[in-house]
A and B are shown apart, each in its own frame.
Chain A
Amino acid sequence: MDNVLASVPARVVVTDDLHRSRLTVFFRLLLAIPHFIWLFLWTVAAIVAAILNWFATLVRGQPPQGLYGFLARFVRYATHVNAYLSLAANPYPAFNGDPGYPVDVELAPPARQNRLKVVFRIILAIPAIIVAEVFLGTGWNFVGGPSGRAYYQEGSKFSIAGGVVLGTVSFLAWFACLVRGRMPQGFRNVLAWGIGYLAQVAAYVLLLSERYPNLDAGATGVLGGQPPRPVRLRIEDDLRRSRVTVFFRLFLVVPHAVWLVLWGIAVVLAVIANWFATLALGRSPSALHRFISSYVRYQTHVYAFLGLVANPFPGFVGRPATYPIDLEIDPPERQHRLITLGRLPLAIPALLVDSAAASSLLFVTAFLGWFASLATGRMPTGFRNAGAWALRYGAQVNSYLYVLTDRYPYSGPESGEEPEAEAGTEPAPLAA
């Protein structure tokens, strides 16, 4: 485990109990105003500190203890504010960035850094910044720090407008928390994942560590397994990628795109029939369930191929256990008629998360993964797993929408697996 954590610049530590105070949730934006002001002031100081830290690290090969401590505290405080603002945590955060907040961050201790990597840090960070942009989107100041100033030029420094992933999930979570007084676990974990990744990017850019940010949910600190669901993603991919098929990937998908559309026409009719049948019988008829399941599975195979989440060219019939990224769908089960009746409106929040957040992340990881796979012949684990999250969530949303199951999609990114450590990384304790 230490080995794993030693390979990332930072990780989140989540001790949140999901309980939310409706009152503070309702006024969350207003309550955060003092933190915006304080974050702004701290950001100005952090910009100066970051510049000094760049020179000092270049000269000494390691950040000075004082600057490191100041910037680490700044990253931690910004993480607390992000968590509070996005509803990933409940209590009002302290203004000093002390550890102990329910969504906290641990940072790698100061260590020697390769000077060449220090010189080109901003350039090296570009792929990570692009992914961070998907989590935050234009208009969000991710930590309010100097790095944030540098990357998110389009957004106001104090902007609280949501990003693609965090914004969409926080927006939906606001309603859920007001109604239930609790944060849905899936939403909280997605937010913790995004906040953890942003903390990694900040730590990397501010020269607190030279370890590259890792998008894998486990590597960001979001641990644990998926709760039981009738629709599950099975990953047997070995990360190897054929450079030739990666290069032509967009064109190789053309016949599948045509077939998806043609099959999709039949599936639309089947879904309508399935809705009526499930409403009448209380469960989906086997034949319709099988037909629609095959389509959802096929769709997952094709998107996995397109998004570089898997390597081989997929088959055309959505047969189970024939693809490294496969979908396991349980046989028909009883479904609540009321949930079936209101299926379409009930699915809207999940559709929003799927179309705005999961699809954006899949696109960006595929885009960046294309270059990485061409260069190395391998897909980075973090990108593959982020893509797999998007595929799993998308498949669960579709299965819910197509009346294959009445279990609501689970948005959490936890994979239940230990994240892989990078070869050759020395174990080191996390502190600060």
Chain B
Amino acid sequence: MRLGIRLVLLALAAGAWIAAAVLLWQSSVVPGGLHLSGADPRRYFTDRQLARTASFERFERWDFVLAQVTLVAVLVAYARYGGRFARESAAGRIGTGMLLGMLGFGFVWLAQIPFGLADLWWERRHGVSRTGYLGWIFRDWGQLAGEFAFVCLALLIVMALAGKLGERWWLPGAAAFVALGALFTFVQPYLMGPLHPLSSRRPRLAEAAHRIAVHEGVASVPVRVQNVSGETSAANAMAIGLGPSRRVVLWDTLLDGRFGERQVRFVIAHEYGHQARRHLPKGIAWYALFALPGTYLIARATRRRGGMADPAAVPLSLLVLVVLQLAGLPLQNVVSRRIETEADWMALRTTHDPVGDRRLMQSFTRTSLVEPDPPTWSYLLLDNHPTIMQRIALANAWAAQER
């Protein structure tokens, strides 16, 4: 193909990518021009609380950074020497690729264990986690096996496509991964283990939740409770599923009395906000936008190893994938924070309760030791939610607008 045509096609693709990204970005209902920075954390938190959360998160941050450095180092070594494990396979081209992919994943898992244990030790020390060390190592082996299976499925798709299409596998490959992502989002509620109806635990709260759902136009989406209090004291909630599988899930730690009813109602409204604004399908769309250049770059990077049709390229592809994910993390966090801000805004519109929101944020800081105003580098690299102070500022901005 001539260079000129290539450039035109590239420009068209880039234009389409940017147009789609802008369209998704601008679909938010949060008004522009809100000023969410500069609020003083000492107005809402004591010095002791601020010191404690800063100390807690500093360790977690550096643990994460060291874990990522180790991860990349392990994968660099594996990219260089991992190909030799191909001789341990009698499984043909794709099977050998699967073996190499799983071994790489296994090395990564092993290398991450010390950092996970350090993190657990820190959380236990601060009363955030109740999981035992051995329990932590062995508890998620089912999930780990699922991840191994997913690695194999991904390599099966990529290597089969690369075998048929050569270097052009990346385009249908990206589509296949997006389809898989959508499928996983759809089935996730059925893979989470037992989820209990909110009405069986807190009937009054369940009625309030239903009113919120009606107000936000998602009356058919139920609220479920997941039991996690045996493992952690941290509180959380999430919106999951697609179409008929949509759910709002509350951890039972939210209902243990540390959070007032107004605060829990705000959490529910926030999660319903995700469902009402169709954040999960939009998340898949964002994933598609990142997957396209991602698969293209993997195809390019593995070219010198024979491309993804050759099992020898698999170790290198793992390294490229992880590096791309790390490099793309700040951008993904920008998108994620915008989505979370919109969910907060929806909750404020539904509950008309900025005070409840602020108290909720204060409770999160107290129970989960979330630092209200983290360092900028940490915010950019690690935070996929707005900071606590930004969320309080949003509540203030909403209240000011209402006045």
Contact = CB atoms under 8 A, between A and B. Distances in A.
A247 B106 CA distance: 9
A251 B144 contact: yes
A254 B95 contact: no
Contacts of A120: none
Interface string B66-103: 00000000000000000001001111100110110011
A251 B88 CA distance: 15
Contact of A258 (B91, B99, B106, B149): B149
Contacts of A252: 99, 102-103, 106, 148
Contacts of A245: 85, 88, 99, 103
Given A242-B85, A248-B106, A316-B95, A255 B152 contact: yes
A254 B91 contact: no
Contacts of A242: 85, 88
A248 B102 contact: yes
A316 B99 CA distance: 12
Contacts of B145: 251, 254
Given A245-B85, A245-B103, A248-B103, A254 B149 contact: yes
A255 B154 CA distance: 11
Interface in B96-150: 96, 98-99, 102-103, 106, 144-145, 148-149
B98 A311 contact: no
B90 A323 contact: yes
A297 B400 CA distance: 73
Chain A contact residues (Cβ within 8 angstroms of B): what range? 10 to 19
Given A254-B145, A255-B149, A255-B152, A314 B88 contact: no
B106 A251 contact: yes
| Residue of A251, A311, A314 with most partner-chain B CB within 10 A | A251
| Residue of A244, A254, A258, A316 with most partner-chain B CB within 10 A | A254
Contacts of A258: 149, 152
Secondary structure type dominating chain B contacts: helix
B104 to A, nearest CB: 10
Interface string B240-281: 000000000000000000000000000000000000000000
A247 B107 CA distance: 10
Interface string A171-193: 00000000000000000000000
A315 B91 CA distance: 3
Given A244-B103, A251-B102, A313 B95 contact: yes
Contacts of A248: 102-103, 106
A254 B152 CA distance: 9
Interface in A246-272: 247-248, 251-252, 254-255, 258
| Residue of B91, B102, B152 with most partner-chain A CB within 10 A | B91
B106 A313 contact: no
Nearest to A246: B88
Contacts of A314: 90-91, 95
A127 interface: no
Contacts of B153: 255
A254 B85 contact: no
A313 B99 contact: yes
A244 B89 CA distance: 12
A314 B90 CA distance: 5
A312 interface: yes
A322 interface: yes
Given A251-B145, A254-B152, A255-B98, A312 B106 contact: no
A311 B91 contact: no
A315 B88 CA distance: 12
Nearest to A259: B152
A251 B143 CA distance: 11
Interface string A300-316: 00000000000111111
A316 to B, nearest CB: 6
Nearest to A258: B149
Contacts of B96: 313
A255 B157 CA distance: 14
Given A244-B85, A245-B103, A248-B102, A254 B148 contact: yes
Contacts of B90: 312-315, 322-324
A251 B104 CA distance: 12
A369 to B, nearest CB: 16
A311 B149 contact: no
A391 to B, nearest CB: 16
A173 to B, nearest CB: 38
B113 to A, nearest CB: 13
A56 B35 CA distance: 89
A245 B89 CA distance: 10
Nearest to B89: A313
A245 B95 CA distance: 14
A323 B106 CA distance: 24
Interface string A135-158: 000000000000000000000000
Given A251-B102, A255-B98, A313 B149 contact: no
| Residue of A242, A251, A255, A312 with most partner-chain B CB within 10 A | A255
Given A251-B145, A254-B149, A316-B95, A311 B88 contact: yes
Contacts of A322: 90
B366 to A, nearest CB: 39
A389 to B, nearest CB: 22
Nearest to A312: B90
Task: Name the 5 nearest CB pairs between A and B, nearest first.
Answer: A255-B152, A312-B90, A313-B89, A313-B99, A248-B106
29 contacts: A242-B85, A242-B88, A244-B85, A244-B103, A245-B85, A245-B88, A247-B106, A248-B102, A248-B106, A251-B102, A251-B106, A252-B99, A252-B106, A252-B148, A254-B102, A254-B149, A255-B102, A255-B149, A312-B89, A312-B91, A313-B88, A313-B89, A313-B96, A314-B90, A314-B91, A315-B90, A315-B95, A323-B90, A324-B90
Interface of A: 242, 244-245, 247-248, 251-252, 254-255, 258, 311-316, 322-324
Given A313-B90, A315-B92, A316-B91, 13 more contacts: A244-B103, A248-B102, A251-B102, A252-B148, A254-B145, A254-B148, A254-B149, A258-B149, A313-B95, A313-B98, A313-B99, A315-B95, A322-B90
